Structure 1
Amino acid sequence: MTKTGCQWRLLPNDLPPWPLCYYCFWNWRNQGNWQKLNKAVVERRRQKAGRDGSPSVGVIDSQSVKCSEWGVFPKGYDGPKKVNGRKRHIVVDTLGLVLVVVVHAANQHESPAARVVLTRLAEREYERMSKILADSAYGKKLASWLKKSFGLLLEVVKVSELSAFHVVPMSWKVERTFSRMN
């Protein structure tokens, strides 16, 4: 894993042949089994923590990540962060459990890309979901679109004008999840 990443042809020998693993992965992907599995795991983990199985609040954010020069598509340049690569867009619940992940080119702005992410979140049908928390990169147009399309409230958490570091309420949940991904 540390040398080659996760390439199909280099799966460990104790697994079935790579074409069979690849075939099963794509079948599960096309049938939506990965999404169903993730939803079931999130619901079980929330219940184990003494919460309702369906989250009522989600936190959305994105992270630009450098990628290799070869074989990576789509790829773009995120000017403000000076990163040539991809952008991971995620929605987590208040426990930091991943609800949705979308990977796209780094040059896409947060608001248009968030529409894809939030549409996929709505498709997962979390019954209690009523509010999405976001940082200031997500604008008023996105809030009105989200309310009109799915009946969800987008609350933009404002960062104060102070220059000192302070924790923005709930946004640290998604940042912690990004650090675990890294």
Structure 2
Amino acid sequence: MNPSYPSNLTSEQWELLLGLIPAPKTGGRKRSVDMEAIVNAILYILCAGCAWRMLPNDFPKWKTVYHYFRQWRKDGTWFEIHERLRLWVRVSQNREASPSEAIMDSQSIETATMVSQEVGYDSGKKIKGRKRHILVDTLGLLIVVVITAANVSEQAGAKLVFSKLDQVRVGVARRRHRFRRLITIWVDGGYRGKGFQHWVIDIYRWIVSVVTRHEEQKGFVVLPKRWLVERTFGWFNWCRRLSKDYEILPETTETFVYVAMIRLMLKQLA
């Protein structure tokens, strides 16, 4: 295959990722496809923003590439790879594996014409489409993403984020607890409300701390902690597939967000 695509992994990055790729299933035909080519093809789709059928011919057949992308979405492989790399990046930055603080925010984004599931209108941003609810650590690394219709409120989206995060905690209970140190979650004014904050404390024992701009401040202002999650949203802009929501299923959009972060973390590690 052509090694010149800017989206391709370097040899060092592939060495890091290779050990996280699922082994072929026992029985049946031996795996003949080049897994590095499969991953590079998925990264090409992510960065170029093209349709699966428009994948260049020097990659494996698009149906084969899509099969692995879809299979790893359904069995949780992408999330597991993402989690392992996130822990490696934190350790490489001399941080504890479990964060003590996190930042949460949402981003409304337009959907493509053919998308109809989970689509709504965000009257505040005046956008018809979907909303990305994300939770990141203080390095800006993604912890959880949830995709909803754009008309879902920040607090309702936050409850979905916390529910998914709780599922992750339960899923890793037999291993070292990934979020045992989490105490504070920084948010903007959209999450303000004593009822919501008390609900979070009662259910999860986390403190929701609202960071807002002072009334006398005008124009763009860098807010403490909050700029970290805004930077993460900015990282998504490097991937054309995420410039608009083109996916029929919200779960596919979530997967592409995790893949984008996997690519970013591999660059940080190698």
Q: TM-score, normalised by structure 1?
A: 0.89
Partner of 2:211: 157
For the residue of structure 1 that corresponds to 2:190, the secondary structure is coil
Kindly provide the amino acid, as one letter, of the partner of residue 152 in structure 1: W
Matches for 1:33-112 after TM superposition, within 5 Å: 33-112=77-156
How far residue 143 of structure 1 moved from its aligned partner, in angstroms, is 1.7
Pick 1 or 2: higher relative contact order, CA cutoff 8 A, min separation 6: 2
CA distance in 1, matches of 2:216, 2:209: 21
Equivalent of residue 182 in structure 2, options 113, 120, 129: 129
How far residue 13 of structure 1 moved from its aligned partner, in angstroms, is 2.6
CA distance in 2, matches of 1:12, 1:129: 44
Moved over 6 A (4+): none
CA distance in 2, matches of 1:102, 1:137: 17
Partner of 1:27: 71
CA distance in 2, matches of 1:148, 1:38: 29
Larger helix proportion of the pair: 2
For the residue of structure 2 that corresponds to 1:113, the secondary structure is helix
Equivalent of residue 113 in structure 1, options 148, 157, 162: 157
CA deviation profile, 1:33-84 (whole Å, cap 9, x unmatched): 2221111111111111111122111100001112222234321111111111
Larger Rg: 2
How far residue 6 of structure 1 moved from its aligned partner, in angstroms, is 4.1
Contact persistence 1:38–1:99 (CA under 8 A) = no
- Asked if residue 175 in structure 1 is aligned to residue 230 in structure 2, the reply is yes
CA distance in 2, matches of 1:120, 1:13: 38
CA distance in 2, matches of 1:100, 1:13: 34
CA deviation profile, 1:122-180 (whole Å, cap 9, x unmatched): 33332222221111111323222222222222111232212324321100000111111
How far residue 181 of structure 1 moved from its aligned partner, in angstroms, is 0.8
Equivalent of residue 12 in structure 1, options 28, 45, 56: 56
Q: TM-score, normalised by structure 2?
A: 0.62
Between stretches 89-98 and 136-145, larger displacement belongs to: 136-145
After superposition, the CA RMSD in angstroms is 2.0
For the residue of structure 2 that corresponds to 1:107, the secondary structure is coil
For the residue of structure 2 that corresponds to 1:124, the secondary structure is helix
How far residue 90 of structure 1 moved from its aligned partner, in angstroms, is 0.7
Kindly provide the amino acid, as one letter, of the partner of residue 181 in structure 1: F
CA distance in 1, matches of 2:168, 2:225: 22
CA distance in 1, matches of 2:217, 2:225: 19
CA distance in 1, matches of 2:212, 2:52: 43
